[in-house]
Chain A
Amino acid sequence: MKRVLFASIALAFGANAMAQTCASPLPIQSNSAVSGDTCTASNTLPGYGGIPSPQTEIIYSFVAQSANATISLAHTGAPFGATMFVMPSPCSSSTDPIALGDFTTPMPVNGLTNGATYYVIITGDPGGPADACGPFTATVTGILPVELQSFSVD
């Protein structure tokens, strides 16, 4: 049983470490926080439309339902110019982001199309050094997808 448990934990951490691309984005939810380290990620998107991005990035996704939130970004280690974007589908190097923020400017997330998938990309400052990376926490205040809190049949 212990072996099974340890194996499950290892798989879970392994999946998180790998799931940082457009094809396998990580989830991000309403009124929650996510943490990561872009130094452990890859540079799978060399740009976002006309924005250069030689820095590594971590990609989250959500399906919008009445999205009305703000995402705040904080360095949890040495500051590296953490920057974030919201990109509509498709997640690709040729898609222009529609919202942005950084460690000093929270990012508003609203006006989205219900049912559409959006991507939150956390990376280094596109105008900064190509090797800039570090740990961060992104805190969502408000609604991204509408979450089912409870359901009962009387």
Chain B
Amino acid sequence: MSRKFNALLGLGALAFASSAFAQCPSSPVPPWSSQSVLGGTVAIVAGGYDGTSCRMASTITGNIGGASAFVRDNTPASEPRYRAQFLINLDTLTGQNTIQSVKVFGASTDAPFGGQSEVVRLTVVGNVAGTAKTLGVFTVCEGQPSNLCSASAPLTAGTNRIEIDWQKGPTGSLRVWVNNTNEGAPTATLNGNSNSWGGVDFATLGLAAGSAAFRAAQLNRAVGFDEFDSRRQTFIGN
């Protein structure tokens, strides 16, 4: 679970072991700031997704509203521009359909506006038949219904590399790359006025806000995360 890291521009590269043979730590904290495991578990387990030794396994274990299994990074400090990248493997979520939605990443501000504090929210849903998965992309857009804009991007079986670039401003934007390292051609782009929100103050990675249908069908199925990196300016890429 190692990660390259630009020390000049980076915010945080949350690594656990740089050696492929290192023993996985017993807890994600540190380097993560904290974890939330209400009706869920977060564990560091063997078998990273990028030739490294460990990954994070996030599992919802209780069919209760608000069940969560995520880690939180408090490194950002009112960041007007926030980039992040991580790997995710959802292969254990078999038969996941469209109403079985679950959040996998969020970037939030301590200065919310219009009832929204999460300036970026990424979710995962299936299709109606439960045979394909889609990344749900949400960002704040002042003046739009619910002050939100949304988009989607297809996910593949196996491990997916997801990167975001959120920029606050009257002509703010959220760009998303999915299995795509071409900075000039993001997979999805949302444009909107985000000037009334504060910058990013913390990020969460892991499962949260699972719908009742998700909790009913996908309990005790671990979703793997790896290679989280966040920066202010430079594209992370591969």
Q: Which residues of A contact B (CB under 8 A)?
A: 43-47, 49-54, 83, 85, 92-94, 96-102, 104-105, 125-128, 130
Contact = CB atoms under 8 A, between A and B. Distances in A.
Interface string B88-101: 00000000011101
B209 A50 contact: yes
Given A49-B101, A50-B101, A43 B152 contact: no
A51 B145 contact: no
Given A45-B146, A126-B152, A51 B99 contact: yes
B20 interface: no
A127 B129 CA distance: 12
Given A49-B211, A52-B137, A54-B151, A97 B146 contact: no
Nearest to B103: A50
B98 A83 contact: yes
Given A46-B148, A51-B101, A126 B136 contact: yes
The residue in A44, A51, A102, A104 that gathers the most chain B C-beta atoms within 10 A of its C-beta is A51
Contacts of A51: 98-99, 101, 123, 125, 136
A132 to B, nearest CB: 11
A55 to B, nearest CB: 9
B127 A125 contact: yes
A46 B152 CA distance: 11
A49 B210 CA distance: 9
B211 A127 contact: no
A46 B99 contact: no
A125 B127 CA distance: 8
Interface in B106-131: 123-125, 127-129
B38 interface: no
B151 A100 contact: no
A50 B136 contact: yes
A54 B132 contact: no
Contacts of B26: none
Contact of A52 (B128, B151, B209, B212): B151
B128 A96 contact: no
Given A46-B145, A51-B101, A102 B125 contact: no
A54 B146 CA distance: 12
B136 A43 contact: no
